[in-house]
A and B are shown apart, each in its own frame.
Chain A
């Protein structure tokens, strides 16, 4: 049996010539050997019916028919779509009978000068004199030409510049655009004119049909430069302002958005001023270009007219590969091309058939459409408009078969070599095929496949179509899935590097050109192949070769991770036959026997457009795969299943998008949808078994929300964020979560198992990360111990309950707990009648106590609001009480001090702001609570003793009555002089009376005070060594009544004292006053009686 091929069977030099980018640069033999028929194009135009068959031959027949006197054929297609190829083919196959060989003008360097030079060289000598009258390019630098171009362009915006002013001349004049743009600062700084001139000069051979036109981005740049410059008129100022408004939005739009054909109407509306300026400049661009290039438009026109006159008896066939190469004089050229000799009165010109290659962008130009569209005789379109892309989909190579056939011809030609091809020179024999005499033919074609006897080595049919299908323009503004894309992106990287194959380095990095997107390089379609390679292949270089081989040669689908048998019994792993691994010197990772068989669905070829011939590559099995497992088995219903959390599950595309995005992130790149990734990370976190993590539900709700769980670098990380680092488990976990919740349709059991394991691992790691985050977020105590938030909250609420008299510090623990956790009732201890610190401490927790109660309830899994006891509860809610909490409650009873608090709470942030307040109140509890029992007890005792003394052994009621008698007696004698003092007492007496202190019998309020006074007198005062008991004693004391009596007696004492002072002074003053002796005597008797009474009473009242 023949051996497998292991070395390249072609030369790099041949590949370079044969695969040269521009179709028209090569010799005819190579061209014909690699030619793929251009067909299935669309045809329109005034003479479309001339083309019977929509094939290249049909087009040639129509155009070359002797009866065709005039044709203006436009071949429209995206760059690389095959326009040049078709035009070249027309040139090569044009009938020999044509008296004058067609003039083929290639794109070459893309410059106008170069194009004119070609035209001159193509014409026979007798016509060379015609070029004498056309202008000559002048020797100027690029920036010199660009400056002149802008200067001319600015001048052309003046209304009087053209003999026939353009339609927008008045609009340009209104805003003074000529003056606005005629500024030397713009010449120096605006890049757009230079870019256009550079393009017209061929861009050093890299122009590739790019239009030399102004665009919206140029206007945004212009606006920036115009800002510091003056404006000639108020309207020009307004224009600048309008331009500025639009420029902001233009800058934020991508080139793809601005180029999207379906958005043009909307863009014109949004960017009215900018668009009109673009149109105005492009409209005048030709005139300015001609001035710059030194080529006279009239000269060019005259050249062609004279040429046609000189060729009157022959037909001129002009084949122009690329009209953009004529930009600047293109309109004048087209004017000549569309001139139909048959419609001229003078029969002075020769017949002319012209074929012009244009891009869709050029074709859609408004001016072209308006002036020439109707005059196109044959319009050949090599693409179809796309509703989603800014570019057309190219007709060529749309089927996999045509892609393989195209590649096969180039493979054959490259193997034959330029020399042999030149010898063959398109002769009647078939193109030589080296495979026919190759020793490896049998095994090579079996393993790598063949097309019409041409081996696809080192590709396979699958590799060709796969590599072709992933060609992308990163900017999304052009298509690379064109014949040229096939050459540049698929064939060249391999054929120009045969040494990679010879050295055992194939497929190397060279096959992954910039035209292949990052996402397409990954092994997503092959299940967990990336992980398998990572685990199985030590060498990074070999691993990468394996990755490339499986990614592009392999078969889609997760079944690729199993060894299966191909139709001929050969083993296949990763979608690649064992023989291919051997030929390329790569390790075989599959098993030695099939460990799975492909299902009928796998064997089914991938649905694709009608095939005319199936490639014979046995190693290119395609099709979707289906593993043994159906992830949603047992799930009824149709359509996409829902997810456990009720969200709609994702489509395969969405799943792939997430997979790509998480891969980007894990590689250190920016994901496209970071919010979505963060949301998924949060969803996984949310599914942790929180009840087993020992993290209170309250903390969980504050620390772990959809906003606070982020993947590293997906948004600026702040203190509140749980940041998941770029670690494999995060990536695998998110992937696994996505797969599991959507059912993992079509995955192999081993992959599902791996996802399950990854999810479990992620849960485990997240649990650890979450606990660490809690530790990190909560400040620790000075000794490093964790801060007991629940214990502290319990203590603050308990201290409050004590001081409000809702529960005694001596009550059973559960009674105290009930007072803490249940809604608090009205205060029973009259805190306002207590020592100041008592009331202050109650007030300090006044604002926060409902919050703390909620914190406790939520943390202990109790309802947030206390249920109404009269309502039947549907759910049982038991408190998950921790030992620390119970101990905190007991500790307050013993120490009258709150648990230690962290030294700083600066890091708590907004989410935990309540905890800051908690520490403040806890500090107040620690500072003040222990003082309260002593202070309050002392004051109660002091008041009791004072009251007792002031009552002078009488009851409170009796003493009040006695005071009342004296006050009223003195007030009777001196109604005007002591009225103020008497009134003060009466007010106090009224208050005492209202509270029952002057009542008798059971209503007598003074009894409780007198009883307390008796207890104090007998030594029943609070214990000094037990604060809880002291507080309980104080709570039991009649603090409020005692205070009322104490204050009433105080008023009484002050009143009596005041009256006494007055009477004594009065008596002293009367004895010294003047008058008759009788007057003095009478008055003296009255006063003496009253004063004696009063003094006796007062003295009695004051001193007992």
Chain B
């Protein structure tokens, strides 16, 4: 029971189930759920509903009461919007223990971030077939005994959850789509929380900011998951050189005036962004958070 194994439990379906339970004071019979979400009885084997329930249960959102034949909502702090739900799931996954089935979601993402840093770009993803890509992830992330933790079948659902979390999207390529790790949406959401901690308009030393970010987004540079992923791919991140994933996200937010990357002369303690000659910011020593306009979740 995990987001990866319950492949038909999409983020939208899990959110729907949660909504349904919430609107029924937190509990609803399985028969009732079935009619609510499958009124035309298209899920004849019950797999989709089972997967949805399984995915929700893996996030500790629901629990089953077999005796009563019902499903009960566990989480009491759920937000009211889909975006808010994405924040909730992200926080849940960040806090997930390594032995939990769901831990692979962000571990795999950290693997992408680290590999992109090592490869100095994201283009290699497009060149890999889904088979070889998922096999590489599986080999690097899992032991022989846990082959099912990440595989080709689970890759599309993993991308779906990652996109839902605001960590990536599908790029159009000549023959289909290719995964592109892009953390700007998530970074913007997490920055909102950092504003509460650091305030706005003041320079935050880059190191302090990045450390705080690594707590909230451990799959990015400096985070636990990132460091583990780097070890797994046998690569040492160069000091003060940021990966392309975090660099792109920071530049995007700098462009959008969500934050400002500041530089003083050629300060030695600067963090260097992944090279992008088309952008004015190539390094920074501090970050200034700008006042937010209020999110939609």
Show the binding face of A for B, using Cβ within 8 Å: 528, 531-532, 534-536, 561, 589, 629, 631-635, 641-645, 649, 687, 689, 691-692, 694, 737, 740-743, 749-750, 752-754, 756-757, 759-761, 763-764, 771, 812-815, 817-818, 821-822, 861-863, 866-867, 869, 872-873, 875-883, 886-887, 890
Contact = CB atoms under 8 A, between A and B. Distances in A.
Contacts of A872: 44
A760 B187 CA distance: 14
Interface in B1-25: 8, 10-13, 15-16, 19-20, 22-24
A642 B163 contact: no
Given A877-B40, A879-B37, A882-B16, 11 more contacts: A633-B127, A687-B170, A687-B172, A757-B276, A813-B32, A814-B33, A814-B35, A869-B40, A875-B42, A876-B38, A879-B38
Contacts of A862: 39-40
B49 A878 contact: yes
A760 B174 contact: no
A821 B16 CA distance: 16
8 contacts: A634-B129, A689-B163, A741-B174, A743-B173, A760-B182, A760-B248, A872-B44, A876-B8
Contacts of B13: 878, 880
B172 A741 contact: yes
A749 B121 contact: yes
A814 B31 contact: yes
Given A634-B129, A757-B276, A883 B176 contact: no
Interface in B213-257: 244, 248, 251-252, 255
A862 B12 CA distance: 13
Given A876-B42, A883-B22, A742 B174 contact: yes
A867 B48 CA distance: 18
B24 A750 contact: no
Contact of B32 (A742, A761, A814): A814
B81 interface: yes
B123 A753 contact: yes
B104 to A, nearest CB: 21
A861 B43 CA distance: 14
Pairs of residues from A and B, 6 with the lowest C-beta to C-beta distance, nearest first: A886-B23, A531-B278, A641-B174, A883-B19, A814-B35, A760-B182
A886 B19 contact: yes
A535 B175 contact: no
A817 B81 CA distance: 22
B48 A740 contact: no
B199 to A, nearest CB: 25
B101 interface: no
B42 A867 contact: yes
A691 B16 CA distance: 12
A757 B275 CA distance: 13
Interface string B169-204: 111111111001010110000000000000000000
Given A740-B171, A862-B40, A876-B42, A753 B122 contact: yes
A750 B180 contact: no
B40 A863 contact: yes
B276 A641 contact: no
Contacts of A752: 121, 123
Contacts of A878: 13, 16, 37-38, 42-43, 48-49, 52
Interface in B258-286: 275-280
Contacts of B81: 694
A880 B49 CA distance: 12
Contacts of A750: 121, 275-277
Chain B interface size band reads: 35 or more
Contact of B36 (A644, A689, A873, A881): A881
Interface in B92-149: 120-123, 126-127, 129
Contacts of B122: 753, 756
A811 to B, nearest CB: 11
A752 B83 CA distance: 30
B212 interface: no
A815 B42 contact: no
A753 B44 CA distance: 45
Contacts of B276: 750, 753-754, 757
Contacts of A534: 278
A691 B12 CA distance: 7
Contacts of A813: 24, 32, 36
Interface in B62-107: 80-83, 86
B39 A879 contact: yes
B170 to A, nearest CB: 8
Contacts of A743: 173-174
A1096 to B, nearest CB: 64
Nearest to B120: A749
A301 to B, nearest CB: 71
A824 to B, nearest CB: 13
Nearest to A758: B278
Which residue among A536, A644, A694, A878 has the maximum number of chain B CB atoms within 10 Å of its CB? A878
Contacts of A536: 277, 280
A649 B174 CA distance: 8
A528 B52 CA distance: 45
A817 B173 contact: no
B123 A817 contact: no
Contacts of A764: 184-185, 252
B123 A886 contact: no
Contacts of A771: 296
Which residue among B40, B41, B248 has the maximum number of chain A CB atoms within 10 Å of its CB? B40
A689 B252 CA distance: 19
B169 A815 contact: no
Nearest to A687: B172
Nearest to B83: A694
Nearest to A887: B23
B158 interface: no
Contacts of B278: 528, 531-532, 534-535, 754
Contacts of B177: 644
A817 B39 contact: yes
Which residue among B23, B173, B277 has the maximum number of chain A CB atoms within 10 Å of its CB? B277
A366 B252 CA distance: 66
B26 to A, nearest CB: 12
Contacts of B43: 876, 878
B150 interface: no
A877 B8 CA distance: 11
A629 B123 contact: yes
Contacts of A863: 40, 42
B32 A873 contact: no
B220 to A, nearest CB: 16
B257 to A, nearest CB: 13
Contacts of A887: 23
Contacts of B164: 689, 692
A148 B90 CA distance: 88
B173 to A, nearest CB: 6
B180 A692 contact: no
Contact of B123 (A532, A635, A749, A814): A749
A629 B125 CA distance: 13
Given A817-B35, A878-B13, A644 B175 contact: yes
A557 to B, nearest CB: 16
A227 B242 CA distance: 75
Contacts of B31: 814
A884 to B, nearest CB: 8
B24 A761 contact: no
A753 B121 contact: yes
A752 B173 CA distance: 12
Contacts of A532: 277-278
Nearest to B20: A881
A644 B172 contact: yes
A687 B38 CA distance: 27
A644 B171 CA distance: 10
Given A532-B277, A642-B175, A763 B169 contact: yes
A761 B182 CA distance: 9
A886 B252 contact: no
A756 B180 contact: yes
A886 B12 contact: no
